[in-house]
Each structure stands twice: as C-alpha cells, then as structure tokens.
C-alpha cells in the first residue's frame, strides 16, 4: 500500500472553502463514521454487488471520497487483482482506511481534493470510477467533478454512483444541508446526460422521506 499527500492545485476559492468545511466535518465524525452511517447510507453494498457482472475485470479502479475504506474493502473482494486508488480530503478518514486495508499491496491512498483530472497529472486512466455518498456533498462543483471523472475513464469505462438524490420534505432537506448535503434531484439527470446508463435505480428510504440512487453508466 502506498499513502501519499497531494498538494492542492488550481483550487478555486469556493472549492477551497468547501474542502476546508468538509475536512473539519470529517475530522469530528471519523471516529464514529462506520458505527453511525449504516442507518442512512443505504445501497453501498448493493452497488458493489451489482458491479461484478457489469464490470467483470477492471485493471484500475478509482474511488473518489473513499473515506474509511469500507467500499475499497468490498471492491477488493470482487476484484482481487485490480489496482485500487482511493482519494479523500480527510487525513483522519484515510487513517481509518489505511488500518482497514493494511495488508493490501495493490492500493494507493492519497489525501487530495478531486479538483482536476488525475490523468492530466500523469496517471493512467481508469476502468471504473466510484462515488459513494460523495457527489451530493460537493456543492458547488459536482458537475465539474463528473467532467473530471469522464476524463479519467478509459473509453468504454464505467462510473458507479450511490448517493442521496431528492426529498419532498423541506425540513429534511434543510437538515441535510446543515450536514453539507444537497438533495435537489439534479444528480440523477446529470448522470443520465453524461453517461450511458447500464444500471439506473431510484429507491425510497424511510418510507419515502428521501430517495437515493444506484447508477452505473458507461463512457462512450
């Protein structure tokens, strides 16, 4: 395993401020993240399980916002030979991932903001890019992040997303905004517009209090 710290380059003042807020948020939450998120970050295991027949043998996988490494652990089980790259802006979350994946020699963890294409920085392109409850927290800027993902995918590569999408409750949306999450319903439309859908599901949580999406799309 290789753990690196990438300097932030070309970050706008808005993205820099957002990164600072999210980094502080996860510094507080990293200790209880895995114990607390099971009750509302639905679909993560389901997404990884559904990936196996869609993307049977990727050689390089990137997870943006890899957090404590719970998805990397799941990806490793179905893709034992793939090279995994995980990036996150929180040192504390990456330390948790490092501990979880300590025996994995085909993994790179990097502390960085996804504010530019990694392939433009000299890295090889990826067969699969994964976002798990990450895009809804990148506000403003998640549309730009999808553009970076397109650039970092090989032709015919896949993007996989599980995330909050919408809620009909104004009070719930306001509460989620306090936790840096925007639930406007625009994410699913943007994914469909930029990638050819292979899997595209919208599911209810807590009897319809909110909807989350499971999406796998192909870059043409």
- Domain span at residue 112 reads 8-218
What pLDDT shows up at residue 15?
54
Q: Does residue 126 fall inside a structural domain?
A: yes
Q: Let me know the angle formed at the C-alpha of 191 by 190 and 194, rounded to the nearest 5 degrees.
A: 85
What pLDDT shows up at residue 6?
63
What pLDDT shows up at residue 120?
80
What pLDDT shows up at residue 123?
82
In whole angstroms, give the CA distance from residue 116 to residue 7: 12
Backbone angles phi and psi of 14, in degrees to 5: -65, -45
Q: Does residue 39 fall inside a structural domain?
A: yes
Among all chains, which residue has been given the structure tokens 């509302």? 40
Among all chains, which residue has been given the structure tokens 């401020």? 17
Q: Does residue 60 fall inside a structural domain?
A: yes
In whole angstroms, give the CA distance from residue 79 to residue 194: 26
CA distances from 33 to 6, 19, 92, 97 (A): 24, 18, 11, 12
Q: Does residue 45 fall inside a structural domain?
A: yes
In whole angstroms, give the CA distance from residue 135 to residue 145: 8
Local confidence pLDDT in tens for the 220 residues of the chain: 877 776 434 444 455 555 565 555 555 554 555 545 556 689 999 999 999 999 999 999 999 999 999 999 999 999 999 999 999 988 888 999 999 999 899 999 999 999 999 988 778 999 999 999 999 988 778 999 999 999 999 999 999 999 999 999 999 999 999 888 999 899 999 999 999 999 999 999 999 999 999 999 999 8
What is the value of pTM for the model shown?
0.86
Q: Does residue 3 fall inside a structural domain?
A: no
What pLDDT shows up at residue 20?
60
Q: Does residue 2 fall inside a structural domain?
A: no
Element (H, E) at 153: strand 153-166
What pLDDT shows up at residue 34?
55
Q: Does residue 181 fall inside a structural domain?
A: yes
Q: Does residue 29 fall inside a structural domain?
A: yes
Could you tell me if 216 and 130 are in contact, meaning their C-beta atoms sit under 8 angstroms apart?
Answer: no
Q: What total of structural domains would you count in the chain?
A: 1
What pLDDT shows up at residue 22?
53
Which CATH number does the domain housing residue 16 bear? 3.40.50.150
């Amino acid at each position: 395993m290789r753990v690196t710290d990438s300097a932030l380059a070309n970050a706008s003042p808005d993205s820099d401020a957002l990164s600072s807020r999210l980094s502080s948020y996860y510094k507080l939450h990293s200790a209880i993240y895995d114990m607390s998120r099971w009750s509302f970050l639905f679909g993560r295991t389901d997404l990884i399980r559904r990936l196996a027949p869609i993307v049977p043998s990727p050689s390089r996988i990137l997870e943006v916002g890899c957090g404590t490494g719970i998805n990397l652990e799941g990806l490793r089980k179905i893709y034992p030979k793939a090279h995994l790259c995980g990036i996150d802006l929180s040192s504390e979350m990456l330390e948790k991932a490092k501990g979880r994946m300590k025996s994995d020699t085909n993994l790179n963890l990097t502390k960085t903001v996804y504010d530019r294409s990694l392939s433009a920085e000299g890295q090889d392109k990826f067969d699969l890019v994964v976002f798990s409850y990450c895009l809804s927290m990148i506000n403003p800027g998640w549309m730009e992040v999808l553009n970076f993902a397109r650039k970092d995918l090989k032709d015919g590569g896949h993007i996989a997303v599980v995330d909050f999408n919408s809620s009909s409750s104004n009070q719930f949306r306001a509460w989620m905004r306090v936790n840096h999450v925007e639930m406007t319903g625009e994410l699913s439309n943007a994914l469909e517009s930029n990638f050819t859908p292979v899997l595209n599901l919208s599911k209810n949580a807590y009897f319809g209090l909110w909807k989350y999406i499971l999406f796998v799309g192909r870059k043409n």
